[in-house]
Chains A and B, each alone.
Chain A
Amino acid sequence: MKKYCLHIIALAAICLFSCKKEDDLNKPLVGLGGDTWAKTALDNWIYNTFTKPYNLEVKYRWDGTELDPTKTLVPPDSSRVRPLMEMVNSAWIAPYVAEKGADFIKMYSPKQYMLVGSVEYNTGGTVKLGEAEGGFRVTLYNVNNFDKTNRANVQQVLKTIHHEFTHILHQTVEIPKEYPLLTGGGYTSDWNNQTLTQGLALGFISQYARAAPNEDFAEMVSIMLTQGRGGYETLLRTSGTNVTVLRQKENIVVSYFKQTWGIDFTSLQTKVQKDLNSYSKSLAFAQIGFSKAFSQITINPALVGEQSDKFNTVWETAKANFMKASSSALYALESINIVFPTATTMQLKVNFRATAGTNAGNLFTGTYTYNVTANATAETNTFAYASADANGTALAAAAKPLTDYFSGAFAMKYFYTQDVKVEYGGLQKADDATSFTFGILNL
């Protein structure tokens, strides 16, 4: 019996193994090539703005396979997608393209942007607003609440993008070795339980910067770019901040961009800020003035041109007046400083040089003091002429076009020249947008 049994099993085995199936390997696969749908205007715009020029995919239609299946999420509202992606294009891609050319973005940018309508709730009750995976994909949450005119909202989204892009840069070329050593003892995986104040005191720009040196670097870059110089300096003014360390980090960031990538960081930052200010209100009123990020503006039309015609007229008249003020000294008007020495005063310092006579070559300053009335609602400062020092009094008549110009209500504003390389600060007459002057911002 056993014998038969073995025979049968052997036979069966042979039959089974001898079975030869010939699959048609050339059979076309059905459904290959991913999802298809009728293209909308938005799809075409995305294709022409991101996919075609930069090989960057923007996925806004729901695809559950790309997201955490354990979380409750919703897809984006298609009406919010374009404003958000316009901002991504103009405040992230365009500044880099302007500095380094389109190839730079093509080569280093993440390849996919995944958009999600809601935030993702973490188990601890916190929410996730952005996420990146290995330089390939960036997921942006909360698209349905995106408001291009809300600066905090825009900055928060943009910060994620710049943060993740910085990671790609430093993964390509390592950040300088001395960077992590500046705050070597401060890095901790418990970063989220440490306050921002504690972080700033140690020389970290944000809470998350304490997670790891690379995160620290990405936070520095993204905060400097999205907050701008004004926002960054405001942050550094927080009492107890270790400004020395942060300035060292700032210098490393700037030199890393220059030496490694040939990018002028200030210029990049200015381009980002100019773009942000074009659709979300800048914080110039909160950042320029007494005890603010900048308390002094140096205006020199010869160095920083593109002033308003109305100011140029005033300037030229004053310049001619100064030339005539003293027949022997021939005063040449050089520059003016707008200084905020106290909360309620502004000083207009008129700098002029003697070009002849005994004091030839010497620089003099005439100071005119104004009282300041701030209107926080309208975000304007109203200047009322109060007094002048000795030099000021002596040249009051010559300086009158200038002293008259600065009487009245002004809005504080950021200004940019054609090349958009430096962010300038200045004043614009509250009731006349065609009358303004600006110059270099000093701390």
Chain B
Amino acid sequence: MNMIKKIALYTILSALAFSACKKADDPFMEDPDKRLAARLAEDEQLLTSAEFGWKATIYPKGGKGFSYYFKFGKDNSVEMMGDFDATTATALKSSTYRLKALQWPTLIFDTYNYIHLPNDPAPGVSGGTAGAGLQSDFQFAMDKMKGDTFFLNGIDRGNVMTMVKLTSDEQKEILAGKVAQNMTSMNGYASTVRYPNLTMEDGKQMDVSISPASRRVRISYQIDDTNVFSKSRGFAYTVRGVILDSTVTYKGFAIRELIWDGDKSNYFVQNGDKKIYLGSGIIPVVPLAAVFGVGKDYTSIDYTPATLKGTMGTDFDAAFTNSSNLFKGGSATLNTVRLILNSDNTYTLRFNYVTTGSLVANIIYTPVKNADGSFNLVFTSQDNNAGVRAAAIAPVKNYFENTAFKISWVTNTISGSVLTLGGLVKATDNKQFFYGVVGN
């Protein structure tokens, strides 16, 4: 057995020895340098072949998303517009590009233009961090053409940029400043519509929370009592509205774009022929209880009258006022009452107050669930300051003890305030609650 194996091995080795030497110098494909040069020429032909230019999108590592209009000339010049800001979306700027064989055929935007803005290391320019910007790219390895989309990979930060050839009409719209209009529309929409949402065909409601400042959309819906589907996507502006960095799919309905309807001043999503317009609510549709928890979106509720700029007139306001007056009597100012969910699922009730310096008093509670889904807070321990200020904190402390609460969104009725509020609503009376700004 061994013998046969060995003979076979040596036979193969000797066969290899004879066949290893191949004197033909011609590589099985053409000379790599020539192929590279040909590839570069091909790519240049591709870039300059788009007679109405290209639309490109890139979603930098450091956040946000950006869309660009490129028109490459055969003289190594490139004309650009982009959605970086109102100026770049309306004024064409010309600069240069060149193709170079680095480790891959590479497109380099080699003098400054709008594409460099997100990568500018000056935070005042890019809106990113000092020395890094938004970690975008301006040197791209030209990867492949797939369908109508040209894929390019950033060689410094690895961001993918996709480019699609424009039609004459699209080019006209971009040059006429349609993208800039959509940026204005978005800002208007986001500042007036508090909690945009979508109602899918099966009646499922989902929150579509849009932040134009960070160019992100978060789509979330409830799967069950405790589990929430939530995906955050960067977006860039287009002539139609905004385009997300990747698709969010609900039961076969793919959401990639929020398309602006100027007549209705509203966005809609489209899948095939099906259009669904965004709705709006006074609170998010996903219950706070589902997104409040350790490792979830929110872990604290912060009641600071100075931040709230008004009160809602619940019984908690009265309790706070009582405590506040008692603090004043003790030469201290009570600023904040904050309820914080700790990583061990206990709650800390924290009082921030000021004497000569800033001080805190903490009380730890353990939640005990009731049959109806509400919970009670059971006193567990308190720190030294809570002992020192026991009398002053008593009204608030008593408020939280011996009452069953449910956690829920609170409709913000403070005039002029746009803060998202959550609260602990009394199980016995949903008009009475502790409330504040949700955070983590």
What's the Cα separation between A9 and B14 when bound, in Å? 7
Q: Does A203 contact B (CB under 8 A)?
A: no
Closest B residue to A43 using CB positions? B96
What's the Cα separation between A69 and B156 when bound, in Å? 8
Q: Does B167 contact A (CB under 8 A)?
A: no
Q: Does A35 contact B (CB under 8 A)?
A: yes
Q: Does A190 contact B (CB under 8 A)?
A: no
Q: Once the chains bind, are A8 and B10 in contact (CB under 8 Å)?
A: yes
Residue in B6, B75, B121 whose beta carbon sits within 8 Å of that of A73 in the complex:
B121
Nearest chain B CB to A323 CB, angstrom units: 66
A residues near B (Cβ < 8 Å) are: 1, 4-5, 8-9, 11-13, 15-16, 18-24, 27, 29-31, 35, 37-38, 40, 60-64, 69, 71-78, 117-121, 125, 144
Q: Once the chains bind, are A31 and B133 in contact (CB under 8 Å)?
A: no
B residues near A9, Cβ cutoff 8 Å: 13
B residues near A37, Cβ cutoff 8 Å: 76, 96, 98
Flag the segment in B49-57, B105-113, B180-188, B225-233 that touches A.
Answer: B105-113
Q: Once the chains bind, are B110 and A12 in contact (CB under 8 Å)?
A: no
Q: Once the chains bind, are A15 and B120 in contact (CB under 8 Å)?
A: no
A residues near B139, Cβ cutoff 8 Å: 62, 64
Across the A-B interface, the 9 shortest Cβ-Cβ residue pairs: A12-B17, A121-B131, A30-B33, A19-B21, A77-B112, A62-B110, A61-B110, A38-B75, A74-B116
What's the Cα separation between A64 and B37 when bound, in Å? 20
Residue in B13, B37, B120, B132 whose beta carbon sits within 8 Å of that of A30 in the complex:
B37
Q: Does B218 contact A (CB under 8 A)?
A: no
Known interface pairs A15-B20, A30-B37, A121-B131. Does A61 touch B10 (Cβ–Cβ under 8 Å)? no
For this complex, into which size category does the number of interface residues on chain B fall? Answer: 35 or more
Q: Once the chains bind, are A15 and B121 in contact (CB under 8 Å)?
A: no
Using an 8 Å CB-CB cutoff, how does the interface string of B86-99 with A read, 1 for contact, 0 for none? 00000000011010
Nearest chain B CB to A9 CB, angstrom units: 7
Q: Once the chains bind, are B120 and A29 in contact (CB under 8 Å)?
A: no
Q: Once the chains bind, are A74 and B138 in contact (CB under 8 Å)?
A: yes
Q: Once the chains bind, are A76 and B14 in contact (CB under 8 Å)?
A: no
Nearest chain A CB to B280 CB, angstrom units: 40
B residues near A (Cβ < 8 Å) are: 3, 6, 10, 13-14, 16-18, 20-23, 25, 31, 33-34, 36-37, 74-77, 95-96, 98, 100-101, 108-113, 116, 119-122, 125, 130-133, 135, 138-139, 156
Q: Once the chains bind, are A19 and B20 in contact (CB under 8 Å)?
A: yes
What's the Cα separation between A1 and B9 when bound, in Å? 12
B residues near A29, Cβ cutoff 8 Å: 33
Q: Once the chains bind, are A74 and B17 in contact (CB under 8 Å)?
A: no
12 new A-B contacts at CB < 8 Å, known A30-B37, A61-B96: A5-B10, A8-B17, A15-B18, A21-B25, A31-B101, A38-B74, A40-B77, A61-B98, A75-B109, A77-B111, A78-B95, A121-B130
A residues near B31, Cβ cutoff 8 Å: 27, 30
Residue in B3, B100, B135 whose beta carbon sits within 8 Å of that of A72 in the complex:
B135
Q: Once the chains bind, are A12 and B16 in contact (CB under 8 Å)?
A: yes
18 contacts between A and B (CB under 8 A): A1-B3, A8-B13, A12-B14, A12-B20, A16-B17, A20-B23, A24-B25, A27-B31, A30-B33, A38-B74, A61-B96, A61-B110, A62-B109, A63-B110, A77-B95, A78-B111, A118-B122, A144-B112
Nearest chain A CB to B119 CB, angstrom units: 6
Residue in B14, B22, B113, B156 whose beta carbon sits within 8 Å of that of A11 in the complex:
B14
A residues near B125, Cβ cutoff 8 Å: 118
What's the Cα separation between A75 and B109 when bound, in Å? 8
What's the Cα separation between A77 and B121 when bound, in Å? 15
Nearest chain A CB to B125 CB, angstrom units: 8
Nearest chain A CB to B284 CB, angstrom units: 37
What's the Cα separation between A23 and B23 when bound, in Å? 10
Closest B residue to A141 using CB positions? B121
Q: Once the chains bind, are A30 and B34 in contact (CB under 8 Å)?
A: yes
What's the Cα separation between A29 and B36 when bound, in Å? 12
B residues near A117, Cβ cutoff 8 Å: 112, 116, 120
Q: Once the chains bind, are B108 and A72 in contact (CB under 8 Å)?
A: no
What's the Cα separation between A16 and B18 when bound, in Å? 8
Nearest chain B CB to A130 CB, angstrom units: 16
Q: Once the chains bind, are A125 and B121 in contact (CB under 8 Å)?
A: no
Q: Once the chains bind, are A22 and B25 in contact (CB under 8 Å)?
A: yes
Known interface pairs A37-B76, A38-B75, A72-B119. Does A21 touch B23 (Cβ–Cβ under 8 Å)? yes
Known interface pairs A31-B37, A125-B130. Does A71 touch B138 (Cβ–Cβ under 8 Å)? no
Q: Once the chains bind, are B21 and A35 in contact (CB under 8 Å)?
A: no
Q: Once the chains bind, are A75 and B112 in contact (CB under 8 Å)?
A: yes
Known interface pairs A12-B14, A77-B112. Does A19 touch B121 (Cβ–Cβ under 8 Å)? no
Known interface pairs A60-B111, A62-B110, A117-B112. Does A16 touch B21 (Cβ–Cβ under 8 Å)? yes
A residues near B33, Cβ cutoff 8 Å: 29-31
Q: Once the chains bind, are A78 and B20 in contact (CB under 8 Å)?
A: no
B residues near A23, Cβ cutoff 8 Å: 25
What's the Cα separation between A11 and B17 when bound, in Å? 8
A residues near B156, Cβ cutoff 8 Å: 64, 69, 72
Nearest chain B CB to A45 CB, angstrom units: 15
Nearest chain A CB to B123 CB, angstrom units: 10
What's the Cα separation between A19 and B22 when bound, in Å? 8
Q: Once the chains bind, are A74 and B120 in contact (CB under 8 Å)?
A: yes
What's the Cα separation between A20 and B6 when bound, in Å? 30
What's the Cα separation between A24 and B26 when bound, in Å? 10
B residues near A118, Cβ cutoff 8 Å: 120-122, 125
A residues near B101, Cβ cutoff 8 Å: 31
Known interface pairs A37-B76, A73-B121. Does A15 touch B112 (Cβ–Cβ under 8 Å)? no
Nearest chain B CB to A89 CB, angstrom units: 20
Of B3, B10, B22, B139, most A-chain CB atoms within 10 Å = B10
What's the Cα separation between A27 and B125 when bound, in Å? 49
What's the Cα separation between A30 and B22 when bound, in Å? 25
Nearest chain A CB to B318 CB, angstrom units: 49
What's the Cα separation between A16 and B19 when bound, in Å? 9
B residues near A61, Cβ cutoff 8 Å: 96, 98, 110-111
Q: Once the chains bind, are A62 and B111 in contact (CB under 8 Å)?
A: yes
What's the Cα separation between A11 and B75 when bound, in Å? 59
A residues near B135, Cβ cutoff 8 Å: 72
Known interface pairs A19-B21, A38-B75, A121-B130. Does A74 touch B121 (Cβ–Cβ under 8 Å)? yes
What's the Cα separation between A69 and B116 when bound, in Å? 16
A residues near B77, Cβ cutoff 8 Å: 38, 40
Q: Once the chains bind, are B14 and A8 in contact (CB under 8 Å)?
A: yes
What's the Cα separation between A73 and B135 when bound, in Å? 10
A residues near B36, Cβ cutoff 8 Å: 30-31
Nearest chain A CB to B226 CB, angstrom units: 42
A residues near B98, Cβ cutoff 8 Å: 35, 37, 61
What's the Cα separation between A163 and B131 when bound, in Å? 26
What's the Cα separation between A27 and B25 when bound, in Å? 12
Closest A residue to B14 using CB positions? A8
A residues near B37, Cβ cutoff 8 Å: 30-31
